[in-house]
Amino acid sequence: MTKKIQKIAVIGTGVIGTGWIIRFLAHGKKVYAYDVDTANKTRVKKEINRTWPYVKKIFNKKNKNYKNLKFVNSIKMAVKDADFIQECAPENIKLKKKVVNEISKFSKIKSVISSSSSGLLPSEIQKKCINPSRILIGHPFNPVYLLPLVEIIPGNKTTLKYMKIAKNFYSSISMEPLTIKKELPGYLSDRLQEALWRESLHIINEGFADTNDLDKAIVNGPGLRWSLMGVFLTFHLAGGKGGMKHMLEQFGPALKLPWTKLKAPTLSKKLSKKIIDGTKKQSRGVSISKLNNIRDRYLISLLKMRKKYEREINGNIK
């Protein structure tokens, strides 16, 4: 089935939708794109041109083929011949339900419909759709054209058949699919990010540190370890020869200490100003576009370097 998936519809061409388009084009797919804002067409092409040097490096692609990208004027035109549909509308449950329902009406009955939602429940999105068994979540991470993770989440009407098709398809476009056993709000990665984000807001709100301090605390410390080993394997090493067992015995009691505050603080004007002013100061006047380029070059280098060490870890574990 994966080999037959050649025609892709992307509904919504914001940051995430554009990222999907770039990844699909890099893997030779024909893409039919639709957005209510027709002006996005120019922005999408500009972003393809900006990112292609990085796409070439990581996927060994020489030329971008604009002939494989077609902008259309309606959801119906985008999805009617598509084998796989990636929905990228704004994160609003009413809008998502409306858009996905319309997609289900005009798409082929067995085409996979994958929503890029970052936290909504697929069971809610698929409720009134035609053949809801093929509707699921395919949650990517920005920049979609570089980061490999995609979380696949089923709704209560999604069948294993379509979960497998989605997983195989995402694997075929150089992604690392992570299948979630059952739906939960926020899925996995965003829930972890949200916990860190909430704690960061409290620290700033109470005047203990600014945005630059907190970013340094991650990128120069645990972030370096997490990029290779994640949280649990990192803590496993923290236990020394005894591994995770000793780590839990040694540091487990600290869980009872009132260090963290997972309940989010009120996002007041004062707190918002601290965050906005802090990140503005950190960026030192460098444009968003230039920062994107710097980030992309770094991620390519990191991903290539990491492969070597991942093979060593996986080889030893197996």
Q: What is the pLDDT of residues 159-202, one digit of tens each?
A: 999 999 999 999 999 999 999 989 999 999 999 999 999 999 99
Out of 24-33, 43-52, 152-161, 272-281, which region has the weakest mean confidence (pLDDT)?
A: 272-281
Contacts of residue 302, Cβ cutoff 8 Å, sequence gap at least 6? 227
Kindly tell me the burial class for residue 17, based on how many C-beta atoms sit within 10 Å of its own C-beta (0-12, 13-18, 19 or more).
Answer: buried
Domains of the chain: 2-179 (3.40.50.720), 189-285 (1.10.1040.10)
* pTM confidence score: 0.87
Give residue-wise pLDDT tens across range 140-150.
999 999 999 99
Query: Is pLDDT larger for residue 82 or for residue 309?
Result: 82
Q: How confident is the model at residue 2 (pLDDT cuts 50, 70, 90)?
A: low
* Range 132-141 average pLDDT: 98
Given a cut of 50, whether residue 60 has pLDDT beyond it is yes
Give me the pLDDT at residue 318, please.
Answer: 46
* Range 261-288 average pLDDT: 83
